[in-house]
A = this chain, B = another copy of it.
């Protein structure tokens, strides 16, 4: 069911410093910050030859990553995103297998303009999983 790894998301407390680090120390291709007020984050994409790294910083109040950064003040790996062909079929298969879908269970439009769902990290060894309909 799961297809490509779309991205690995890393929450960072200082977006400028993180961008400089990936650009200057790792020599990566670091994009421009994108404010996504509907998702409570500012995102920076790092393009790799086969996938992307997404640096996430809280934007506004009630950011979904504010709590994560409170627990992990230096930042940390926040989630991985897998592509699926049919997000409703994927959801139903996961629920039938006993995995919990976060929120209402209905897909939302994610930061890339495509339907997404998040799966409970307790069902996947502490790893928060985003599914995106490719």
Contacts and interface: CB of A to CB of B under 8 A. Distances in A.
A94 B122 CA distance: 35
B3 A48 contact: yes
A123 to B, nearest CB: 7
A43 to B, nearest CB: 14
Nearest to A6: B50
Interface stretch (A23-31, A59-67, A108-116): A23-31
Nearest to A46: B2
Interface string A1-24: 111110010111100001001001
A51 B5 contact: yes
Contact of A80 (B77, B94, B125, B129): B77
Nearest to A75: B125
Given A93-B27, A97-B25, A50 B127 contact: no
A82 interface: yes
Contact of A10 (B48, B53, B93, B125): B125
Nearest to A98: B25
Interface string A63-96: 0000000001011110010100000000001100
9 contacts: A4-B51, A5-B51, A8-B8, A24-B97, A26-B129, A51-B51, A53-B80, A76-B77, A77-B80
